[in-house]
Each structure stands twice: as structure tokens, then as C-alpha cells.
A and B are shown apart, each in its own frame.
Chain A
Amino acid sequence: MHPREGWSEDGSRRPGLSRRSFLRGSAGAGLVAGGLGPLLAACSGGGAGSTGGSGTTTIPLPRPNHPVTWPIFADNKAIKSGLKAEQGNTLKLYNWVAYINPQSLKNFAKKYNVPVPQVTTFNTMSEAMAKLRSGQVNFDIFFPTIDVMGQLVEGKLAQPINHSYIPNISQAWPDFTDPFYDGHWRYTVPYTIYTTGIAWRKDKVPENPYTMANPWAMPWQAKYKGKVAILDDYRESVSLGLMKNGIFDLNTTSQSQIAAAGKSLQQLSSMTNVHIDNNDYTEVPSGQIWIHHAWSGDMAAAPAYLPKGVSPDVLGYWFPTDGKGPVGNDTIAILKGANSPVLAHLFLNYMLDLPNALTNISYTGYMQPLTAVTPQRLVSEGMLDKNLMSTAVLPSYFRRGVMELQLPVPTDVLWQQTWQTVSHGA
């Protein structure tokens, strides 16, 4: 089965937006005609966050050169070793939309002779965090991004992991047994990993980014007016502007660097009338766009969207061969209020087992960082076109890649302000 098959069956995805964008923060409410949409969105965001006043954050911001090992609190300890799984309990998952293979859940239930785990979905990380903080929801397992680690741990929303239940961690890339965002994997196991690069149509664009001096500048070409697109995501696109200017600190707090990135993007806009959207996986195959700032997982799925008779050879995805580009990963955590903590540990272990990971990747399209999940393997299993092997992520990328991580709030506001002026055509 193809990665993207079955998405529409879900019915809850907003067509026209990519999965990744959905994951990263679309309103996801579908169309509400007129001014009602903003109203509802504003309403649902209501009371959230009223617990904290304004002030400076005391939660450390993990960075690859400043790893953080989160504390274990006396009133929030890991479960004891050697406990029996809670029989008859239904495991409750809190996850992004279409981000786990329903078949994986069924297989898990069969293996441990428990009911099929239930999935509740959220549309944005802030929505999920707000609900978890409210204490009104009751889940066992959560799929956080790495930038909310501090809130999860310091807010005592997640429980520490008892490693004795998760021998399959040995199948994961060694880097993930001590990731910078969660030293000694105290609270999380890795889930998916992905890169951001540039997708292009080899049959329309003679330039090859692999031989260009500055491939991040590839979209800046007036002759491709109307055929260029960047991602509709403030972190990704402002980062593109930064990298085009040779700056690879994608968490920069420098006002002048951010402003210069914004200027470059505005220049791109007037030069090419740039499209701003996350439809990389449909627009490049259809030929609507020739150069698209793109996500690896989306482009891995792009061949399925090619018109009949067009060979996948026309599709290209560039990510720096030295791995020095945007890399991101998601994780799985067990919540403190879990009703079935032992079963939850078993589930984390289950998802780190190769056959189960492959089953899951075949549905989500997003690679999982297991040693045996190599680009060659994905090609031979028929999950990836050999022409798009560059969309697969290598362990070295995780080490050398640059990550878009949590910013201090005033800096984040600056990034957003820059993006507002670019995306609305100042």
C-alpha cells in the first residue's frame, strides 16, 4: 500500500494542505464560510494558557551543543520493572491525524491480547499541550515534537520511561539513546524523522542543485516566474531565507539576520510571484510548480501523484549531501496520568521493532530512525522510488543537520512578524 493511501478515508484531513502542514499547525477546522472560522478558532483557543502570567521562561532550551537531561521528580517516578501488562485495558493514544497505521494498532492488540488502542487526534501541538495541561483529558501515549519537551517534563505531564521494558531501543539509531533534547532518553523514544530540501522537475529545469554553488538560492530565478513555491510555514521559509544568505543557525536571535532573510524572501516574491503553499507532493508531479521548497516525507509520496504516463524520473529532491540542512524528528512519550502505563511501555517497545516500523512507514510515509530502515531497504520493500532516495534520512544528518528548535518568545515573535510581511506581500 502506498504511504498516502487511505488518508481521504479518514475524512478529517483538510485537502489542499499537506500532511506536514496539517501536523505543524493548520487550523484543521475545514471550511467555515464567512467570518465564522476565525471566530471559532479564537474561541477554542480561549481560556488556554491563563495559568501563566507574562514573565521570562525558566525552562531550559535544549540545543545540540547544549543537551538537556531532564530531572526526575520525587512525585513523578517511572513504573517498577517486571510488572504485568494491564489486561483488558484499552490503550489511549493522543496523536496527529493519519500519523499511525491503524493496522499497526490491530497487530499490537493481537500480539498482547488486548483491545485495539484508541486514537484521539489533535491538529496543532499548542492545541494538544493546552488540553493536556488542562488535566481534562486522559490518555496513555502522546506524540510530542521535540520543542515541547520542557513543558512536558517541567509541567509533569509525561512520566519517565522504565528502560527495562524497551529492549528494542537497540534497534534505533544510537544517537537516539542520548538525544540532546532528552538526555538518556528519560522521557521519550524516537518516532519519525524528516528533512526539508528543494524539489524540482528535472524535465523542466536544466539546473541541478547538486552541482550548484548555493542550491538554497535555486528558487531565486526570475525565468521561472509563477513556477516557484515555498512552504507556508514561518520557521521553514524564514530558514530558507537565512540559508540562502549563508546563515545556518536556524534558531538565530539576530534581528539583522532575520530582517535580511525577510528581505530576501520579499525579493523572491517580486521576482517569481512565488506561491506559498504546502502542496509540494501534488504540484511538482502535476507540473504546476517546477521548483518547490519541500518536505522529504511529502516528496517520497509524490510519485503517486504523477499524471499517467509520466515517469518518476522527472522528480528530484535535493538535500545537502553533507547533511547540513533542516532536520526534524518527532517522539513518543507516556503521559503521567496513563491508566495503563505498563501496556504503554510495551507499545513504545512495539513501535521500535523493525517489522512494525515498516508497517507503519508504509502508511504514514514518514521514516523511522531504526538502523535497519535504510534507504536501500525502503526501495527494495517498494516503499520508496529509487529516484527519490535522497528523501530518506541518514543517521549522520541527525548529527550534522540544523534543527528548528524552540525559540525564546520575543525572538519567535520576530520570526512570525517577518513571515507576516513576506506571506502577505508587503
Chain B
Amino acid sequence: MTESGYRARRREQRQQYRWFWILLAAPGILWLLFLFIVPFYAMLAIAGGKLNLIFEQPIAIWNPLQWSSANLVKAWHDVAGAGAFDGPIVLRTIVYVAIASALSLVIAYPVAYFVARFGGRRKGLLLVLLIAPFWISYMMRMLAWIDLLQINGYVNKALALVGLPPVGWLGGLSFTVILGLVYGYIPYLILVLYAGLDRIDPALIEAGRDLGLGRARTFIRVTLPMSRQAILTGLLITVLPMLGDYFTNQLLSGTTSTTMIGNVIDGQLQTPAFQAEGAVLSLMLLLVLTIPMIYYVFATNRSSRSAT
């Protein structure tokens, strides 16, 4: 076959395949279009929109050239200006999420490590047990904590058994909110860590041991670096929803001393005249969340390049 004939056939083949791939990608593209791009644009249109003074509802402005910056300015003043009430809340949210994700990692890693390395024949069973919390909705799991932590709940009853006074766990303690966050999102972290740790070739660990490293040093020099990607993914998966979480706080505290940014957005979306400002804050949050996302993409690319 001549060179040009070969090329023509390849082109033809590619044409055919192209349609195949487009068809295959269609559901995903449609999903992204209708459930992400369109709602996202609607949010932008509301954030840049006005307030209908008769019905007291936000008016979406669809033409970007006519977007007003009034809501953005208002939201920014609430975050950073004088008399800004959102500022301390942003800081608190970051501190809560940082502590909660660090705690989650400390708890989740050994669990995932144990299942992946020592699960043996029971790996399946252990995994099912780990996934079990997913069978119950997040909300129900939080409500269960209320039963445990309320003033005449089981935790205080247990404290009374050893002669300790009851604690107002649900009285607006940071501890309780952080505990709720850890409890709520840790299964995601465990699963991701498990998937990462399970993929590490045991031969590499054995090699480390054969080369004279102790257990601890094998872990630090071999296992830990190899699970870096899993840690990063897992943290990303837990940090993102934690930052936007409002329900945990609403159920386990409900006081102003533990308000997180998600609560502010939730509150604004429920107050008609503040819906546009709520949209701005949601977009700001989204913008902040893209930073770790971008870092994650770069880190993944780097590690896959170094692997090949």
C-alpha cells in the first residue's frame, strides 16, 4: 500500500472512531452541560443581577455585559470591610476544617493501612464494614449524635456512671462541631486511602525490609511516599465538602459561636433579599476550592509522569 493510501484509510478510520467517541462522551457532556454549566451560569447571573423590588426576589441578568458589581461589593465588605461579620467566620471555618482533616487523616490512615496490609481473607468483610456508614444518610448519622450527646443522652449518662458532671455537648462547643465533621467525612478518606495503599506492591515493602530497613523506616521511606497521592486525593475529597458544610454545625451546635461559612451562605439563600449575595459567597467559596483542585491536578500529572 502506498503511503498516501495508508494515510487516507487511517483518516477514514479516525473519522469513524471519532463519532464513536463523541457518542460515548455524550452522556457525560450533557450531564456536565445541564447540571453544571447551566446552573453555574444561573448562579453568575443572579450574583450579577438585581433585586426585584415588588416581589423581593433576585432578578437574574443573563447578559454578562450588564452584570452589576453591587452584590460582589456588598459581599466583599461583609468579608473584609469595617464591621465585616463574615471575616471571623471565614477564619473559623479554615481552622475547623484544618483540625478536622488532620484528625481524620490520623485516624483514617492506620485503619486503611490495617485493612490493606493485614486484612487478608477478611478484606472484603472489613471493606463492607467501612462502607456501611454510607448506607445511612449523612443527616441521619448527625441526628444520631444528638441522641448520644444531648444533656440526658448516653454520653452524659456514661459520664455520670464514673461520677462526672454532665457536659453541654450541644451547647455550642467547637469540639462537637469538629467531631461531627470528622465523623461525617472520614469514611471517604478511609476508602481512598485503602485504594491507594492496597495498590502498593508488597514486594517493594519486602525489598525495603530485605535491604535492612526496620519496620518504621520501611514505612517512612517506602509506604508513606508511595501513598502520598492517596493522601492528597483523600484530603481533597474530605476538605472540599467540609468547607461548604452547614448541616453539621446547624444540628450539633446552632449557636453563633461556631458559625461556619456554609451557614452564612445557607442563611443568605433563605433570606430573599440576600440570595444574590449568597450566590456571590458561593462563587467565592468555589474559587477558593479550585486552588487545591488545581494543585491536585498538577501533583497528579507530576506523579504520573515520574511513574512512567
Interface residues of chain A, those whose CB is within 8 Å of chain B, are 14-16, 25-27, 30-31, 33-35, 37-43, 45-50, 52-57, 59, 126, 129-130, 151, 226-227, 229, 232, 234, 269, 273-277, 279, 286-288, 307, 409-410, 412-413, 416, 419-426
Contact = CB atoms under 8 A, between A and B. Distances in A.
A234 B59 contact: no
A307 to B, nearest CB: 6
B285 interface: yes
B85 A424 contact: yes
B251 interface: yes
A424 B59 contact: no
A56 B255 contact: no
A61 to B, nearest CB: 12
B254 interface: yes
7 contacts: A38-B265, A52-B54, A286-B152, A288-B150, A419-B271, A420-B85, A424-B259
B271 A57 contact: no
A49 B60 CA distance: 8
B57 A423 contact: no
B96 interface: no
B55 to A, nearest CB: 5
A286 B150 contact: yes
Interface in B248-271: 250-251, 254-257, 259, 263-271
Contact of A43 (B39, B139, B245): B39
Contacts of A287: 151-152
Contacts of B282: 35, 38-39, 42
A16 B139 contact: yes
B56 interface: yes
A424 B263 contact: yes
Contacts of B78: 420
B171 interface: yes
A232 B273 CA distance: 16
B40 A34 contact: no
A422 B56 CA distance: 21
Given A420-B267, A420-B271, A424-B264, A57 B54 contact: yes
Contacts of A130: 55, 57
Contact of B43 (A39, A129, A227, A277): A39
B182 interface: no
A42 B275 contact: yes
Contacts, number: 189
Contacts of B48: none
A43 B43 CA distance: 6
Given A39-B40, A46-B42, A416-B272, 12 more contacts: A15-B139, A35-B282, A38-B278, A43-B42, A48-B57, A52-B53, A59-B54, A269-B255, A274-B256, A275-B171, A413-B51, A416-B274
B247 interface: yes
B143 interface: yes
Contact of A275 (B58, B89, B172, B247): B172
B289 interface: yes
Contacts of A424: 85-86, 89, 256, 259, 263-264, 267
B279 A31 contact: no
A413 B271 CA distance: 9
B300 interface: no
A232 B150 CA distance: 20
Interface of A is mostly: loop
Contacts of B266: 27, 37-38
Contacts of A52: 52-55, 59
B189 interface: no
Nearest to B273: A413
Contacts of B172: 226, 273, 275
B143 A16 contact: yes
B255 A126 contact: no
Contacts of A232: 254
A38 B57 contact: no
A423 B256 contact: yes
A49 B273 contact: no
B257 A425 contact: yes
A425 B89 contact: yes
B241 interface: yes
B138 interface: yes
A102 B241 CA distance: 38
B271 A416 contact: yes
A42 B269 contact: yes
Contacts of B285: 35
B46 interface: yes
Contact of B268 (A307, A420, A422): A420
B197 interface: no
B281 to A, nearest CB: 8
Please give me the 4 A-B residue pairs with the lowest Cβ-Cβ distance, nearest first.
A425-B256, A49-B57, A226-B171, A34-B241
Contacts of B53: 52, 54-57, 409-410
A262 to B, nearest CB: 11
Nearest to A278: B254
A367 to B, nearest CB: 26
B243 to A, nearest CB: 8
Contacts of B226: none
A59 B54 CA distance: 9
B279 A42 contact: yes
Contacts of B241: 33-35
Contacts of A413: 51, 273
